[in-house]
Amino acid sequence: MLSMGTALVGTGYEIDAITAVLVGGAALTGGKGTVSNTVIGAFVIGILNNILNLLAIPSYPQMILKGLIVLVTVVTRKEH
């Protein structure tokens, strides 16, 4: 059996990673964040993904919701 990888593994998780970091407290403009807050943000996004999947919400509305979370987080973030 030939084991091969594909370049498409992980496609679509970029928005989850960015959202987890922003929910964890880091800023896109070069602010400081911590690993522990990013892990908490990742848990929050993971739980959100699980809830949306359990509610049988299609993937495109899920991406729109995550994009709105990013937008709201960036707009409401107060820089120090």
Tens-digit pLDDT profile for the chain (80 aa)?
677 878 888 887 888 888 888 888 887 777 677 889 889 999 999 999 999 999 999 989 998 998 898 888 888 877 65
Q: Which residue has the tokens 């998780």?
A: 13
The CB density around residue 43, as the number of other CB atoms within 10 Å, is 13
The confidence score (pLDDT) of residue 43 equals 93
**Angle at the Cα of 34 from the Cα atoms of 65 and 74, rounded to 5 degrees:** 35
User: Backbone phi, then psi, for 9, in 5-degree steps?
Assistant: -70, 130
The confidence score (pLDDT) of residue 9 equals 81
Burial class of residue 20 in the structure, from the number of CB atoms within 10 Å of its CB (0-12 exposed, 13-18 middle, 19+ buried):
buried
